């Protein structure tokens, strides 16, 4: 019965697509109805199929409702509207509009600075003076502020964006921001008489694109948020009187990676690409039918699709500045508008009404419970929002389940638990901890160190038959990650999950402190030397080659040809930084790193050349939670209760509660945003993920694979029966 139900559904869909004789196009005004009717007549006159029928609505939102009710088939609307519609409706994107460049871009939002102001970059905008086109505008407000929030450079407590901006910048001119925080209008000047200051109109000298650029030119602000054409419109002889002596070469763009570039490099150096309008269609319609109909309309009919002059309006049905239609490339609307643009809109898409009354933290001990209660009181006394509540969990898994079931909202977890939280319970990271003051969310990078003089090892396969030094059996950077990478690369293939045996066969000899267990290969301990008296060979915590420094010493003293340690180990024991006799006269330049990309690099290049980025702890929440609300709360809180404050309550100190690392690790220097690492996979990093997965039992993977093959075979047989 199930097979025939599936066949019936398939035949219905096929019939619907093949019998698409007309397309019901949604319009949002009387002028659009007029243009749509004229377009339908023009298309029909040259026998374009399917034919067009026009349906009237009052807004893009109403068109979306009609689409869901199957009362219309298609309409064109802006990328911002597509984002809004995507929250409620299910649809396909059939095509996009484009100018002659064929890229489907309206413009790029950029941050412009003077070339002479060489100190400023995208990472140090806090405390700077800024020029904006106007509050609520795309290029001067939504894109730059959304970018700063989404990337974690700016925090906003309780979705109060204007206050967040006021706290972040020293002073600004944001026309239209009157009645908000005073600093948002502080740099505005009004008209020649000083009237109309901060008004969202041409009465304000620094309003709109040219005005925001002029604010920069006058040295009133240090950075102007405008579109990519603004500098060109006002330099090298173009523009009004105030711009006549300006040269484009005297200005630069701030790039997201912290660098700067020429104003002509806007395609690579921008804060956001603002996409052109897209053609939204009903999920049951074949996208190519719509795209082909519009393309033929351009080629075969005399109708001016991208002009609204004859119908007394602007941008009717389609944008007047477009020249062609291009395939959307994917049914999913996020693919068309772009993940970056989507994330920026999402970061700005928050109001006071979206802030929950409280955030419930899941705690695991009486000490953590006591600290949580004190944290809730301390936060409340400073007026921080949302409030903190505390809920006792029986175990980490119980807490993760409570969060999944909406009984709790947050818990701080380490890497192994983050993996489980994401994979099993669908949780996502909201904020991370930083133990170094860096913002990349790493505890450290796991690296493979070689002597520069050893030219025999150029890639991972060259490690076969070599001698190796490890921090300890079962440890992250010294065992799990390097052995996981060897498995992932197919260089070792454990039989029946016997990973240690496979590693023992791969390496000629090793020192893996702690591998002195019955049943493990003896050569995993053969390079160890024991303690200072020669006793306790290969004993974890006692062998001189144990731990990070011990594994590096093993390499230095020739007991191994590669040492698996963390990125800071070499620097801590070379260039005069080491205190033990064996470190004397060691130079960091005498060592190199072996990269997982099968190359070698300098020890200072660990961010590009490493085996894995070992991630710091992260606060995990449900995917429907707003991470910017969580970061906004904790970032504001650490200004009062962080490491540099003398407050009674301390976020990163557990000594008053008879424990350590309660709620947050005591070694935390600051709470950081997850930035672009919005999923558990992104936070853990691909190399760390690969090592974790590779170290899982390969036998169970084989069973899963066999089951998958059996299922796939069954599906193929079923489909062949349906076709017959």
> pLDDT, tens digit, for every residue of 568-617?
999 999 999 999 999 999 999 999 999 998 999 999 999 999 999 999 99
Distance CA 448, CA 430 (A): 31
Find tokens 């909201």 and name the residue.
430
User: Does the pLDDT at position 255 exceed 50?
Assistant: yes
Q: Rounded to the nearest 5 degrees, what angle is found at the Cα of 265, between the Cα atoms of 261 and 270?
A: 80
In what helix (H) or strand (E) does residue 672 lie, and over which residues does it extend? strand 670-673
Classify domain 105-274 at the CATH superfamily level. Answer: Periplasmic binding protein-like II (3.40.190.10)
| Cβ 74 vs Cβ 325: under 8 Å | no
Distances (CA, A) of 533 to 529, 530, 542, 552, 607: 9, 7, 11, 20, 39
Percent of the chain residues past pLDDT 90, beyond the cut: 87
Q: Is 130 annotated as a binding residue?
A: no
Percent of the chain residues past pLDDT 70, beyond the cut: 94
Q: Is the peptide bond before 386 cis (omega within 30 degrees of 0)?
A: yes
Distances (CA, A) of 233 to 87, 102, 173, 206, 244: 37, 22, 21, 15, 11
User: Does the pLDDT at position 699 exceed 60?
Assistant: no
Find tokens 């493979």 and name the residue.
448
Q: Which one of the listed residues 283, 351, 700, 701 is annotated catalytic?
A: 283
Q: Is the peptide bond before 50 cis (omega within 30 degrees of 0)?
A: yes
**At how many degrees (to 10) do helices 698-723 and 2-18 cross?**
60
Residues of the chain with CATH 3.40.190.10: 19-100+276-348, 105-274, 355-440+616-684, 450-613
Rounded mean pLDDT of the chain? 92
Length of the chain equals 724
With cut-offs at 50, 70 and 90, classify the pLDDT of residue 5. very low
User: Does the pLDDT at position 715 exceed 70?
Assistant: no
Residue 667 three-state SS: coil
pLDDT tens-digit map of 289-307:
999 999 999 999 999 999 9
The pLDDT score that the predictor gives to residue 672 is 97
The DSSP line for 101-146 is TSS-EEEEEEEEEETT-TT--GGG-TT-EEEES-TT-IIIIIHHHH
CATH number for the domain whose boundaries are 355-440+616-684: 3.40.190.10
In what helix (H) or strand (E) does residue 599 lie, and over which residues does it extend? strand 599-602
The pLDDT score that the predictor gives to residue 360 is 98
pLDDT tens-digit map of 29-38:
999 999 999 9
Q: Which of 576, 582, 562, 577 is nearest to 477 (CA)?
A: 562
With cut-offs at 50, 70 and 90, classify the pLDDT of residue 127. very high
Distance CA 662, CA 653 (A): 8
Eight-state DSSP code of residue 673 = E
Long-range contacts of 570-579 (CB under 8 A, 24+ apart): 570/449, 570/603, 571/603, 572/548, 573/549
Alpha-helical regions (H) of 287-414:
287-300, 333-337, 339-348, 366-381, 396-404
Q: How far is CA 15 from the centre of its chain?
A: 41
With cut-offs at 50, 70 and 90, classify the pLDDT of residue 697. low
User: Does the pLDDT at position 16 exceed 60?
Assistant: no
Residue 529 neighbours by CB distance under 10 Å: 18
Distances (CA, A) of 472 to 524, 543, 690: 10, 10, 20
Q: Is 207 annotated as a binding residue?
A: no
User: Does the pLDDT at position 720 exceed 50?
Assistant: no
* CATH architecture, domain defined by 450-613: 3-Layer(aba) Sandwich (3.40)
Rg (Cα) of the chain, in Å, rounded? 31
With cut-offs at 50, 70 and 90, classify the pLDDT of residue 551. very high
Q: Is 295 annotated as a binding residue?
A: no
Distance CA 268, CA 249 (A): 17
Provide the b/e sequence for 405-423 (b: ≥16 CB within 10 Å). eeebbbbbbbbebbbbbbe
What average pLDDT score do residues 375-400 get? Answer: 97
Distance CA 481, CA 566 (A): 11
Q: Is 19 exposed, middle or buried (0-12, 13-18, 19+ CB in 10 A)?
A: exposed
User: Does the pLDDT at position 722 exceed 50?
Assistant: no
CATH number for the domain whose boundaries are 19-100+276-348: 3.40.190.10
Q: Which of 298, 336, 306 is nearest to 322 (CA)?
A: 306
User: Does the pLDDT at position 39 exceed 80?
Assistant: yes
The pLDDT score that the predictor gives to residue 518 is 94
Enter the tokens of residue 170.
């020293």
The pLDDT score that the predictor gives to residue 462 is 98
**pTM here?**
0.86
List CB contacts of 357: < 8 A, sequence separation 6 or more: 386, 387
Q: Which one of the listed residues 66, 76, 78, 92 is annotated catalytic?
A: 92
What average pLDDT score do residues 632-641 get? Answer: 98
Q: Which of 305, 281, 317, 291 is nearest to 72 (CA)?
A: 281
What average pLDDT score do residues 187-207 get? Answer: 98
Q: Is 414 annotated as a binding residue?
A: yes
With cut-offs at 50, 70 and 90, classify the pLDDT of residue 497. confident
Provide the b/e sequence for 509-528 (b: ≥16 CB within 10 Å). bbbbbbbbeeebbebbbbbb
Residue 239 three-state SS: coil
In what helix (H) or strand (E) does residue 600 lie, and over which residues does it extend? strand 599-602
**At how many degrees (to 10) do helices 339-348 and 79-86 cross?**
70
List CB contacts of 36: < 8 A, sequence separation 6 or more: 25, 27, 52, 54, 317
* Known active-site residue 92: yes
Distances (CA, A) of 108 to 209, 249, 320: 13, 19, 18
Q: Which of 287, 279, 296 is nearest to 336 (CA)?
A: 279
Phi, psi of 411 (to 5 degrees): -160, 145
User: Does the pLDDT at position 13 exceed 80?
Assistant: no
Enter the tokens of residue 704.
């899963």
Across the beta sheet with 22-27, what order do the strands follow? Answer: 51-56, 22-27, 74-77, 278-281, 92-98, 324-327
Phi, psi of 229 (to 5 degrees): -90, -10
| Cβ 313 vs Cβ 31: under 8 Å | yes
| Cβ 419 vs Cβ 695: under 8 Å | no
What average pLDDT score do residues 677-705 get? Answer: 73
Q: How far is CA 221 from the centre of its chain?
A: 29
What average pLDDT score do residues 5-11 get? Answer: 41
User: Does the pLDDT at position 711 exceed 80?
Assistant: no
The pLDDT score that the predictor gives to residue 415 is 83
* Known active-site residue 308: no
The pLDDT score that the predictor gives to residue 433 is 96
**At how many degrees (to 10) do helices 481-488 and 499-506 cross?**
80
For residue 412, the cross-strand partners are 619
pLDDT tens-digit map of 506-537:
999 999 999 999 999 999 999 999 999 999 99
Residue 708 three-state SS: helix
**Beta-strand relationship, 171-173 and 129-132:** parallel
What average pLDDT score do residues 112-139 get? Answer: 98
The DSSP line for 14-48 is HHHHHT--EEEEEESSHHHHHHHHHHHHHHHHTT-
With cut-offs at 50, 70 and 90, classify the pLDDT of residue 12. very low
Q: Is 140 annotated as a binding residue?
A: yes
Residue 706 three-state SS: helix
Q: Is 137 annotated as a binding residue?
A: yes
With cut-offs at 50, 70 and 90, classify the pLDDT of residue 11. very low
């Amino acid at each position: 019965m199930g097979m025939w139900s599936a066949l019936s559904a398939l035949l219905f869909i096929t019939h619907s697509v093949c019998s698409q004789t007309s397309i019901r196009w949604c319009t949002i005004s009387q002028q659009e109805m007029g243009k749509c009717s004229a377009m339908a007549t023009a298309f029909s006159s040259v026998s374009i199929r399917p034919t067009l029928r026009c349906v009237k609505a009052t807004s893009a939102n109403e068109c979306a409702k009609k689409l869901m009710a199957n009362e219309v088939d298609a309409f064109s609307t802006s990328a911002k509207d597509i984002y809004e519609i995507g929250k409620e409706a299910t649809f396909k994107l059939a095509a996009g509009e484009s100018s002659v460049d064929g890229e489907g871009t309206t413009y790029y939002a950029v941050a412009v600075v003077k070339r002479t102001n060489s100190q400023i970059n995208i990472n140090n905008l806090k405390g700077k003076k800024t020029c904006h086109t106007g509050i609520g505008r795309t290029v001067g407000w939504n894109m730059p502020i959304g970018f700063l929030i989404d990337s974690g450079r700016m925090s906003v407590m309780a979705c109060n964006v204007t206050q967040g901006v006021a706290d972040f910048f020293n002073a600004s001119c944001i026309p239209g921001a009157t009645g908000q925080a005073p600093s948002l209008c502080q740099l505005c000047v009004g008209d020649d008489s000083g009237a109309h200051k901060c008004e969202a109109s041409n009465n304000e000298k620094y309003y709109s694109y040219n005005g925001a650029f002029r604010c920069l030119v006058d040295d009133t602000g240090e950075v102007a948020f405008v579109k990519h054409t603004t500098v060109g419109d006002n330099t090298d002889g173009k523009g009004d009187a105030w711009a006549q002596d300006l040269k484009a070469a005297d200005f630069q763009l701030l790039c997201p990676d912290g660098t700067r570039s020429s104003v002509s490099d806007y395609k690579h150096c921008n804060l956001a690409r603002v996409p052109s309008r897209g053609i939204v269609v009903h999920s049951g319609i074949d996208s190519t039918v719509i795209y082909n109909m519009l393309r033929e309309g351009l080629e075969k009919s005399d109708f001016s699709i991208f002009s609204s002059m004859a119908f007394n309006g602007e941008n009717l049905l389609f944008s007047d500045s477009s020249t062609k239609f291009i395939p959307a490339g994917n049914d999913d609307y996020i693919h068309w508008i772009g993940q970056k643009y989507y994330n920026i809109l999402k970061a700005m898409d928050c109001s006071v009404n979206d802030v929950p009354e409280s955030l419930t933290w899941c705690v695991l001990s009486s000490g953590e419970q006591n600290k949580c209660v004190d944290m809730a009181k301390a936060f409340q006394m400073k007026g921080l929002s949302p409030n903190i509540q505390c809920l006792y969990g029986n175990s980490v898994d119980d807490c993760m389940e409570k969060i999944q079931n909406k009984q709790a909202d947050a818990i701080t977890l380490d890497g192994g638990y983050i993996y489980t939280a994401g994979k099993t319970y669908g949780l996502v990271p909201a904020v991370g901890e930083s133990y170094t003051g860096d913002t990349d969310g790493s505890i450290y990078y796991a690296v493979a160190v070689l002597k520069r003089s050893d030219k025999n090892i150029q890639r991972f396969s060259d490690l076969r038959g070599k001698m190796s030094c490890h921090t300890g059996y079962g440890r992250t950077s010294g065992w799990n990650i390097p052995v996981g990478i060897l498995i992932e690369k197919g260089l070792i293939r454990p039989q029946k999950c016997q990973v240690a045996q496979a590693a023992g066969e791969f390496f000629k000899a090793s020192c893996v402190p702690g591998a002195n267990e019955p049943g493990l290969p003896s050569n995993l301990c053969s390079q160890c030397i024991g303690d200072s008296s020669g006793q306790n060979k290969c004993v974890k915590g006692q062998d001189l080659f144990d731990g990070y420094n011990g594994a590096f010493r093993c390499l230095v003293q020739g007991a191994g040809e590669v040492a698996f340690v963390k990125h800071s180990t070499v620097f801590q024991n070379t260039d005069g930084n080491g205190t033990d006799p064996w470190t004397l006269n060691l130079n960091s330049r005498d060592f190199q790193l072996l990269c997982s990309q099968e190359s070698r690099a300098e020890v200072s290049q660990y961010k590009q050349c490493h085996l894995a980025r070992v991630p710091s702890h992260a606060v995990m929440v449900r995917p429907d939670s707003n991470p910017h609300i969580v970061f906004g709360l904790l970032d504001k809180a650490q200004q009062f209760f962080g490491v540099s404050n003398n407050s009674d309550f301390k976020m990163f100190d557990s000594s008053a509660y008879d424990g350590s690392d309660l709620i947050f690790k005591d070694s935390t220097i600051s709470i950081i945003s997850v930035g672009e690492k919005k999923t558990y996979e992104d936070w853990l990093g691909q190399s760390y993920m690969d090592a974790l997965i590779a170290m899982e039992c390969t036998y169970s993977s084989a069973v899963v694979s066999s089951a998958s093959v059996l299922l796939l075979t069954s599906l193929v047989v079923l489909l062949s029966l349906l076709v017959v």
